[in-house]
Structure 1
């Protein structure tokens, strides 16, 4: 920095002040509002090519009309159980919201009153809680969604007395997170300004000096906010952490730079009453130190812009703030010093020999490090190394921990967690693609098999898919259920078959027994027919005899008597046949025979009567004899036919008997086979072998088609599954479960009817799993960039390679010790599952970027005081003069970050605690002992490979510097 520039700055001090004020006003009025932009920015920062983002895009294609981008859950509860009044009230609200679908950002409403089959999914089993899910058209952070959430909160007011109504879900949680962050930011701003003011009053013991850094940093912050907000138009990423870090870093580092300038200005004033000359000397010496200190911070935060992870990138805005603060520090701060002059330190008066003074404590530590450098290093390492072992890298991804527990979204989530389960609010969604349609029985069977496999994984409560729309398998379509029903039907069939078989066997036996009787009947009929013919012939002779002689009357009477006996015998035989074989009653031949037999009986009866009166009148007998003769002829013919019929019947019965025996044997075999089948079916049912069978009729049913339309695209090539976890979606167990879900689904679909399947997992737990991997890899990558950038800046400043190396090593060791202490406090003592997942990165970044400032303060003065062969003296002088400045700077920096601990945001609490611990350790133990010991141990090699040229330059410059600086001449 040239002397001409500094003197010109001193002359134009009021112009500089007015110019900065004007720029600040212009930034406030003309540049965008950073907080408003942060409020509209997505805070997840998942890369666009990540699996979870692809999964959302794929699932949106299934049914764009019903796909929502965010949601809110109305959680209605009553400790003693919901009443009828509660249900009526909630039913009315659900109906009113349903009418708003398609308006004001609301896309869908799901409740127990819309689909009765889903009622159990919206009502808890204990009857204390009920949910209504409202889907939104736009993302959580969209202005329309935020307005819809506010309106929804107003709509659910006025619930029946004694009930509780809360809003949770992605949109309310995101909104509450933003509000919680803004509340924390407001607290941080006030606390930071208050702490810095108090610390500056203590350091300077003046009411005027503190306002120089406050004015410088205040104006820088106003301008920076506008510039960062404007830069978002060109792709710069911001987050809820951006403003918090801007406030902490600018007030911390900026105040440190101002303190360094003010203290050096005070130190120079003891050698001259000319404030311009004192300013020139100040800027010529520590102005360079401030520039390099700010450069390391700028480089560190600028390189964050090369991170792949958006949340890390959001810290790049701090680099703009550091650049603005540096420019203000080397222009506005000197202008203010010129305006106030020696009155800066009022009521104290700067006298010759005063200034910042030298610290006896730091001189004593410098002496110890110079005399026993190895012992100092060994003792320090032995004492601090065990603390690094406390750092296991345990991280927590619980977003709810970042929100005040009194917020409605947190209370609603806890109520759902208690009544329904941890995973009900944020299920894991899986997108599945195939090269062919999955709307086929075979593909759906494969999907059912995969769903069954997923449901058996530890940490899974239920799986909802096209074949399990309610989270449970469809019993009517399972093979086990169908086999059970088949087995029951087979059992009934077997019973019928056995009964028929028994009947056939009995019938066969009866027929065999009656067959001999049938043979006797046939023989009797044939005898009857023969005798009937003989009777007819006799009647014919009787008739002839009656015509010729009356003496034939006695013969006729005897013949009639014989015929009567024969007819009675035949009738008895027929009755026996009918009793033995009732089935013959319906036989046509038998009916005809019976009719003729009856006619014969009647005729013989009449003939018998006529025989008694034959003597009285032959004229009357002759017609009767003629009639009987004709009847006997017909009877003889009928008897012959009956005999032929009974013969044929006997043959048929023989064949029927053989057939019945064969049928009975076949039915016995069938019965035995059915028994075996039933036993096999029962065994399959008992073993619960997974299986699924989808008949064509079931596939075309309206109920299944509705489920298919919800879970599978029209072309059948895209499907989704919703997995409800039984563990907290933010927990480490959930991350393990997500990985198992992905692996199990791929394994289950391998070789199935679903062709070329591809699996994409989304949801809160899946995003956390991605955050875990992305943040870890980006930490290593970006952290390496930061270390390399700082090393280059230190190498240029110190003109050395070794000195920057051990400075960075000391910073790395300090970071590990710090994180060990922080993890012990929050995880071991406070019982947290882990540190906030982003805390370790930002603690590293800020400790390295800001802690290196103290190294620069010390090493720059060390380099300034160095003379060839005077390592110990130079370090002692540097420590005694800058030790107080380092402590003051560390206290201020620690104070600004301590304000983050009171923000109410868990991550900022841990970051603030880590930075305070790290800065305190580094500014005392490492700056007071470790770095000086390393510098003394290395000796002249501190300036390798520039040592010789540096020595020549120092020797050549000593004379001219002693002439220009009375202070330097006195020291020399």
Structure 2
């Protein structure tokens, strides 16, 4: 070590030049980290996660027209849109449509392209209208971001008094990056300013502060380039990477520099050359700096083993720590040698005067030595209840990370007010089956599932192949079809009543009629023949009704044949009149002709309404059978009348009876039709509050509008279907997550046992991803946090050559974390009214408090170990506290200052992380380092070094513990 330091001292200018050259090479030869972060997906959902799988499946439905990301133009006017507003928006939509295929735009959809969509794109209150823009590439892609930028510029010049915003996935992503970059710039400036001010206060010199600033500044520039280069080999980065680099490097790096500079000042005061002072400094605290940096390096390096990409993105800090450590062990000593005692100008370093001992820490050392048990009990009693405030409430609202003044946030809020927040980020569900779902049965199952989902409290609307606009296709409901059938039955009943009335009138007139019996006999024989045909037609109707599920067409054919028979009957009557003109004036014949026309009209109406009689007509089958029997009796009576011309009186009587029987049969038909109609009305009325039945005839599949909807929501092979659920709650809310679980269960129940074979569900969209983030981040926190604690324990064990001391140091860090999070959650959730802490805040607060807080333990415990001699636990701890207490406070203030700068970034997560770390560091550097850890060390005594305490070779100094422990001074 000594040879290395002396060589470093002699080559101080060479060292400085080398670092400056490396810095220049990094600036101009390595990639730009900020540019890479700008193009990186920030949610880091694993490739095999459900939402990613769902998105890939849904893209198969129509890969040519499915956009990778989207934007929503939100046009509004508080008092309601005017004609000029709509005209401007229509022209703008047309301009954008003309640019499809260029500028990254893939699709433009508005109410002007498809009037059917007006109800979805225009708010009910008339204040807001939307235009949907689809992009060819993901939202983080450079082409998409440039397209959003140009799109924002193209929306200028709107009519006065109106507001135009861009929201949706791509604009929100762009504004998130802008907010992060603005926050990063603020953080850099504030961090440098805060560190400079604190160093000026600590060193009371204008020169000393620049040694840490130059060291850390050079380290940061080089680190940025190296991290950017590492991304080419798979290292993930995020918007947090640079923020943490700045905070950790300026915080921890400055701490290491302070430790070196303060010890260098102490060694200069002991006399000798500045080179000798540097050698003693590096010999005494060089190892402490190495182990301190090692704990931070290990903690952030182990983050690389996390499964979640956002957590992994912090691994770049480990590179920064390694570079900073190298600079701290070479560049900082070189600068100290260059400036020498001038480092502390205008203060003079006099012989025998170090950096002084802290009276406050001497007092805490005395208290921890005299009353260790009391100190521990009081600390636990006072702080343990605070940990109960930490309930783990988390928020996943990305919009909270963005400055509310950004257009994407304002646009989202406008859509939320006018349409509901679910419109911006719908829940997309892919449903796959082993067989095609382009069948009436499968579509009916989808309608049942859609109707069940629409009934859930947290669901605003469901869109599917059978509900393209989010509403049920009423023409295909059984209720609607029964209503139409009821109208047809009314017409059918009216026709039947007319026929029955005609037959009754005919029988009465024939009974009273007189005329040419022979001519009448021939006419009756012809009527008998035609009546038999009519009977056959009704028999066919009867047969068709018995197969009602298949026989709507057969009923139409039977009625058509009956109409033909009736027409033939009319033709025969006209032929009879042509053959016997003298019958034209016969009143009976005239009435018979009129009633025959009524029969023909009634049958024509029956034929028109037959297609709607598929369901429920089984009830009129007996009536039709009776009608056929009646007509048979009518035909028999007519034949008897013809054969019994010689017995005209009796023949006419029998004919009259047959006609009456026919009339009676038709009256039964009328009664049966009335019964069917009443039954249908009862069925239609009973559906109130229930899911109405649904029936899709095969021929309806050929309807162009229905086919268009099916093609939009279903793949060509019918194996994949898209369901869009518009949530009634904010997609980022906890209520939305609950609703997603209910939707999943409802779909499983609705599709179980349906005609859809082996249905599989995959959910995507903002709310679905939030659910995945919740589970992934929680599991990774537990796993990665354990690795970090184990790694730090090993480093501490190697440094302190002890097992017990690292254990209680880690316990103190863990307890400090729980207390810190209790305070942070109380401030942000209970006092400020947030729904929860940002979902990643608790992890990063834990990581940084543990990784950086342990540095202060190392500062103290390393000096404790340095001062320790067998039998001198109390004295060694007291000496360590009085000499390093000021350094620990200074380091904590600087570290807290760098993370306090994050609170000014304007990014909600960084605000909470910064607040948590500041609170945690203040607690740990005072309460825990000043009282808890020393009390534990004093309580354990010689066992601090177990199981390596026997290896102490230096003899014990007598009365070490008897030496006076510094008392608390007022």
TM-score band w.r.t. shorter chain: 0.7 to 0.9
Partner of 2:70: 71
Q: Secondary structure at the match of 1:404?
A: coil
Cα distance, 1:199–1:510 mapped onto 2, change above 3 Å: same
Partner of 1:400: 399
Q: Secondary structure at the match of 2:422?
A: coil
Partner of 1:569: none
* The one of 695, 704, 708 aligned to 1:693: 695
CA distance in structure 2 between the aligned counterparts of 1:89 and 1:954, rounded to whole angstroms: 89
CA distance in structure 2 between the aligned counterparts of 1:343 and 1:375, rounded to whole angstroms: 46
Q: How does 1:477-626 map to 2 (within 5 A)?
A: 477-498=476-497, 500-501=499-500, 504=503, 514=512, 582-583=587-588
Q: Does residue 774 of structure 1 match 2:806?
A: no
Partner of 1:908: 910
Q: Secondary structure at the match of 1:430?
A: strand
Q: How does 1:289-304 map to 2 (within 5 A)?
A: 289-304=288-303
CA distance in structure 2 between the aligned counterparts of 1:800 and 1:292, rounded to whole angstroms: 14
CA distance in structure 2 between the aligned counterparts of 1:752 and 1:648, rounded to whole angstroms: 69
Partner of 2:799: 797
Give 1:867 deviation, angstroms.
Answer: 1.3
CA distance in structure 2 between the aligned counterparts of 1:317 and 1:778, rounded to whole angstroms: 18
Give 1:729 deviation, angstroms.
Answer: 0.9
Partner of 1:469: 468
Contact kept, 8 Å, 2:644 with 2:651, in 1: the verdict is no
Runs (5+) with no aligned partner, structure 1 = 523-577, 589-641, 960-972
CA distance in structure 1 between the aligned counterparts of 2:376 and 2:662, rounded to whole angstroms: 105
Cα distance, 1:579–1:475 mapped onto 2, change above 3 Å: closer
CA distance in structure 1 between the aligned counterparts of 2:715 and 2:392, rounded to whole angstroms: 43
Partner of 2:713: 711
Contact kept, 8 Å, 2:497 with 2:666, in 1: the verdict is yes
CA deviations on 1:720-775 (whole Å, 9 max, x unpaired) are: 11111111111111111122222222221112111111111111111111111111
* The one of 716, 726, 731 aligned to 1:729: 731
Q: Does residue 280 of structure 1 match 2:279?
A: yes
CA distance in structure 1 between the aligned counterparts of 2:699 and 2:271, rounded to whole angstroms: 103
CA distance in structure 1 between the aligned counterparts of 2:368 and 2:660, rounded to whole angstroms: 116
Give 1:355 deviation, angstroms.
Answer: 1.3
Contact kept, 8 Å, 2:502 with 2:592, in 1: the verdict is no
Partner of 2:268: 269
CA distance in structure 2 between the aligned counterparts of 1:394 and 1:309, rounded to whole angstroms: 20
Contact kept, 8 Å, 2:69 with 2:170, in 1: the verdict is yes
Contact kept, 8 Å, 2:506 with 2:588, in 1: the verdict is no
CA deviations on 1:186-206 (whole Å, 9 max, x unpaired) are: 000000000000000000001
Partner of 1:537: none
Cα distance, 1:368–1:587 mapped onto 2, change above 3 Å: closer
Partner of 1:214: 213
Partner of 2:626: none
CA distance in structure 2 between the aligned counterparts of 1:584 and 1:9, rounded to whole angstroms: 134
Partner of 1:875: 877
The TM-score, its normalising length taken from structure 2, stands at 0.84
Partner of 2:373: 374
CA deviations on 1:799-821 (whole Å, 9 max, x unpaired) are: 11111111111111111111111
Contact kept, 8 Å, 1:111 with 1:122, in 2: the verdict is yes
Partner of 2:832: 830
CA distance in structure 1 between the aligned counterparts of 2:41 and 2:144, rounded to whole angstroms: 13
CA distance in structure 2 between the aligned counterparts of 1:869 and 1:680, rounded to whole angstroms: 102
CA distance in structure 2 between the aligned counterparts of 1:702 and 1:389, rounded to whole angstroms: 62
Query: What is the CA RMSD across the aligned residues, in angstroms?
Result: 2.3
Partner of 1:927: 929
Contact kept, 8 Å, 2:727 with 2:736, in 1: the verdict is yes
Q: Secondary structure at the match of 1:423?
A: helix
The TM-score, its normalising length taken from structure 1, stands at 0.84
Partner of 1:788: 790
Give 1:496 deviation, angstroms.
Answer: 4.1
Q: Does residue 384 of structure 1 match 2:399?
A: no
Give 1:644 deviation, angstroms.
Answer: 9.3
Q: Does residue 315 of structure 1 match 2:320?
A: no
CA deviations on 1:783-807 (whole Å, 9 max, x unpaired) are: 1111111011111111111111111
Partner of 1:138: 137
Q: Secondary structure at the match of 1:930?
A: helix
Q: Secondary structure at the match of 2:783?
A: helix
CA distance in structure 2 between the aligned counterparts of 1:928 and 1:24, rounded to whole angstroms: 39
Of stretches 59-68 and 265-274 in structure 1, the one that deviates more from structure 2 is: 265-274
Partner of 1:592: none
Partner of 1:194: 193
CA deviations on 1:614-661 (whole Å, 9 max, x unpaired) are: xxxxxxxxxxxxxxxxxxxxxxxxxxxx99975454344333333334
CA distance in structure 2 between the aligned counterparts of 1:163 and 1:584, rounded to whole angstroms: 78
Give 1:665 deviation, angstroms.
Answer: 3.7
Q: How does 1:403-482 map to 2 (within 5 A)?
A: 403-482=402-481
Runs (5+) with no aligned partner, structure 2 = 519-582, 594-640, 959-970
CA distance in structure 1 between the aligned counterparts of 2:256 and 2:840, rounded to whole angstroms: 28
Give 1:162 deviation, angstroms.
Answer: 1.2
Contact kept, 8 Å, 1:811 with 1:852, in 2: the verdict is yes
- Structure 1 or 2, whichever has the larger Rg, is 1
CA distance in structure 1 between the aligned counterparts of 2:591 and 2:495, rounded to whole angstroms: 27
Partner of 2:89: 90
Contact kept, 8 Å, 2:365 with 2:881, in 1: the verdict is yes
CA distance in structure 1 between the aligned counterparts of 2:844 and 2:6, rounded to whole angstroms: 40
* The one of 778, 795, 818 aligned to 1:816: 818
Aligned length: 845
Contact kept, 8 Å, 1:518 with 1:646, in 2: the verdict is no
Of stretches 579-588 and 429-438 in structure 1, the one that deviates more from structure 2 is: 579-588
Give 1:690 deviation, angstroms.
Answer: 2.7
Partner of 1:955: 955
CA deviations on 1:324-357 (whole Å, 9 max, x unpaired) are: 0001111111111111111111111111232121
Q: How does 1:929-948 map to 2 (within 5 A)?
A: 929-948=931-950
Q: Secondary structure at the match of 2:423?
A: coil
CA distance in structure 1 between the aligned counterparts of 2:147 and 2:592, rounded to whole angstroms: 90
Q: Does residue 47 of structure 1 match 2:52?
A: no
Partner of 1:12: 11
Q: Secondary structure at the match of 1:6?
A: helix
Give 1:490 deviation, angstroms.
Answer: 2.3
CA deviations on 1:105-140 (whole Å, 9 max, x unpaired) are: 110000111011111111111111111111000010
Give 1:518 deviation, angstroms.
Answer: 11
Q: Secondary structure at the match of 1:861?
A: helix
